[in-house]
Amino acid sequence: MADIKADGIDEVVVLPLYPHFSISTSGSSFRELQRLRKADPAFSGLSIRCIRSWFDHPGYIDAMAGLIERKIEAAETPEQAHIFFSAHGVPKSYVEEAGDPYQKQIEACSELIMQRLEQRLGHSNPHTLAYQSRVGPVEWLRPYTEDALEELGAAGVNDLVVVPISFVSEHIETLEEIDIEYREIATEAGVRHFLRVPALATDPTFIAGLADLVQQAMAGPEVNLDQAAELPTRVKLYPQEKWAWGWNNSSEVWNGRLAMIGFSAFLLELLSGRGPLHALGLL
């Protein structure tokens, strides 16, 4: 925002790198930008065009299909390789109570990719969609990735082509969660070949698709920041928003606080030689 002001920019196109809209991803980014603009009168007249989602853009679909195709070709039995879409999950309440379109967009996107993939390959492959990265005590979208992997392993799936469908770059949820944690679960469940499709990164087809999205946004009807930031109904968000008085309703934050309290109590008892664990004979 400081650079926009310094450079005298008078028109902005906001392109979130989240293909699928969710109130917790693109939505939170739009709301933060809205807050920053309201706080600075210099931005009151700035034209901001927003792209809410692009999960069905041909450039994105074709780029995903191309990456998946290369992994299928590396499978032991390409025509039987099972395509496993793993999307980042969201709390179920976002969809059922707040009308978040995320789940519908993910489902529609996976079907579009499979259709494009069948056109490229000349045959159809079985596929599964699941959701990863849940935290906290609330229910998230199902099926959970770890459960689905165990079921596929038990069903005798040999070649598993894992697709990080809602991620466009590599980070902890692909390099750690999928490549290490979920690979271990799948292998223990009986999957012999765990083939992970890389994130799009700077794939030329993908980048051309992003450029087309920006051109369409500048030429077409304006979707302004207020429209992009609007939520269907109010819902408690994890972890973007806070209750009053600085209390944070993030399940991750509270899990961390409780863990630190427990660890501190354990350390204190270890050093003092007194406490409930000693009374039970556990220390």
- Per residue in 59-80, pLDDT (tens digit) is 999 999 999 999 999 999 999 9
Question: CA 49 to CA 223: how far, in whole Å?
Answer: 5
The reported pLDDT for the residue numbered 202 is: 97
Q: Does domain 58-196 have CATH number 3.40.50.2300?
A: no
What is the pTM (predicted TM-score) of this model? 0.82
| Domain boundaries 2-54+204-229, corresponding CATH code | 3.40.50.1400
Q: What pLDDT was estimated at residue 142?
A: 97
Tell me, what DSSP letter sits at residue 179?
I
Q: Could you tell me which residues come within 8 angstroms of residue 215 by beta carbon, excluding any fewer than 6 positions away? A: none
| Cα distance between residue 227 and residue 220, in whole Å | 15
For residue 5, the model assigns a pLDDT of 86
What are the angstrom distances between the C-alpha of 35 and each of 29, 81, 225, 239, 281? 10, 47, 10, 17, 55
Concatenating the DSSP letter of every residue in 15-54 gives: --S-SS--TTTHHHHHHHHHHHHHH-GGGTT-EEEE----
Q: Indicate the SS3 state at residue 58.
A: helix
Asked whether 67 and 198 are in contact (CB, 8 A), the reply is yes
Measure the CA angle with vertex 56, ends 105 and 1; round to 5°. 85
Q: What per-residue confidence (pLDDT) applies to 230?
A: 82
Exposed/middle/buried for 180, CB within 10 Å: 0-12, 13-18, 19+? Answer: exposed
Q: Please answer whether residues 160 and 191 qualify as being in contact, where contact means their C-beta atoms are separated by less than 8 angstroms.
A: yes
pLDDT digits (tens, 9 = 90+) for 178-206: 999 999 999 999 999 999 999 999 999 99
Residue among 87, 88, 111, 84 at smallest CA distance from 189: 84
Each of the 283 residues of the chain gets a pLDDT tens digit; together they read 889 888 999 899 999 999 999 999 999 999 999 888 888 888 888 889 999 999 999 999 999 999 999 999 999 999 999 999 999 999 999 999 889 999 999 999 999 999 999 999 999 999 999 999 988 888 999 999 999 999 999 999 999 999 999 999 999 999 999 999 999 999 999 999 999 999 999 999 999 999 999 999 999 888 998 899 887 666 666 654 432 223 334 444 444 555 567 667 767 777 777 777 677 676 7
Strand spans (E) along the chain: 11-14, 47-50, 82-88, 127-132, 159-163, 193-196
Q: Which residue has the tokens 């406490």?
A: 275
Indicate the SS3 state at residue 272: helix
Alpha helix (H) residue ranges in 122-237? 145-154, 172, 183-189, 204-219, 225-229
What is the three-class DSSP state of 65? helix
